[in-house]
Chains A and B, each alone.
Chain A
C-alpha cells in the first residue's frame, strides 16, 4: 500500500541551487497538490493539478514550478533556492475535488 510517495525525504541545499521534489501516487487520483508547512502556520498550498497535463497556482507559488506530465507523478521544482524556502513540503492527492486528501510523508528541505 504505497499511496503517496515523496522523494527525497531530506535535503540540504545552498542558496541558488536548484532541485526537484518528486511525488508519486498509485491510487489513480485526478487531483494532486504541493503544500509547505512552516512552524505555527499550518499548511499552505503552493501549486496543484486537476489532472494530467494541468497545473495551477495556489496561495504561495512564487519561486516554485510544477509539472504533471503523467497522471501519477507531480514534480515540484525550485529553480534558485532561497533560505525562505526552508520548510517541510507535503504532496497530497485526492480522487476528485473536495474529497479527502491523502498525504505523503513529507520532505524536509533546508536552504543554507
Chain B
C-alpha cells in the first residue's frame, strides 16, 4: 500500500500564480515526521521542511507555506507568487518506524513547471 501519495504528477502554472502541491500519507504510528524536499533540474535534493506529528501549526517561510492536517493525513505545500526558479520536482516523505529504526518513505514527486 502506498504510504505517501502525491497525486499530482505534474503541475504547470504561469509565473506569479499561487500553486499548492498535495501530499497525503498513511501511517499507524502516533509519532512520525513529515518532510518536503526539492529537486531542481540540476538534480540535487534540497531539504525544505520537517514537521513532527505533534506539531500541527502551519509554517510559513517567505513565499513557501505548509499546511499540516492530521485529521485528513495531509501535509500540503503552497508556493505564493511562483517564480521560474521554483520549477523543480517536489517530494513529500514520511519517516516511519519499521524494522527497528525510522526510515523515510518517499512520494513519487510532483513536477512543477513555472512558465514565464
Partners in one complex: yes
Q: Which residues of A contact B (CB under 8 A)?
A: 33, 40-45, 48, 50, 56-59, 88, 90, 92, 97-103, 105-106
Produce 1/0 per residue, B1-19, CB < 8 A to A: 0001000010000000000
Produce 1/0 per residue, B41-67, CB < 8 A to A: 001111100101000000000000000
Contact B103 A58 (CB under 8 A): yes
Does B72 touch A at the CB level, under 8 Å?
A: no
For this complex, 9 residue pairs linking A to B, each with C-beta atoms less than 8 Å apart, are: A43-B45, A50-B101, A57-B99, A59-B103, A97-B101, A98-B50, A98-B52, A98-B102, A99-B50
Q: What residues on B are CB-neighbors of A59 within 8 Å?
A: 103, 105
Known A98-B33, A105-B44; judge A43-B50 contact (CB<8 A).
no
Q: Which residues of B contact A (CB under 8 A)?
A: 4, 9, 33, 35, 43-47, 50, 52, 91, 93, 95, 99-109
- 6 further A-B contacts with Cβ under 8 Å, apart from A43-B91, A48-B101, are A43-B106, A48-B103, A92-B45, A98-B95, A101-B104, A105-B44
- Cα A43 to Cα B18 in complex, Å, equals 27
- Cα A30 to Cα B47 in complex, Å, equals 18
Q: What residues on B are CB-neighbors of A43 within 8 Å?
A: 45, 91, 93, 104, 106
Among A42, A56, A88, A100, the residue within 8 A (CB) of B101 is A56
The 7 closest A-B CB pairs, nearest first, are A42-B106, A103-B45, A100-B47, A43-B106, A42-B108, A98-B33, A97-B102
Q: What residues on B are CB-neighbors of A33 within 8 Å?
A: 104
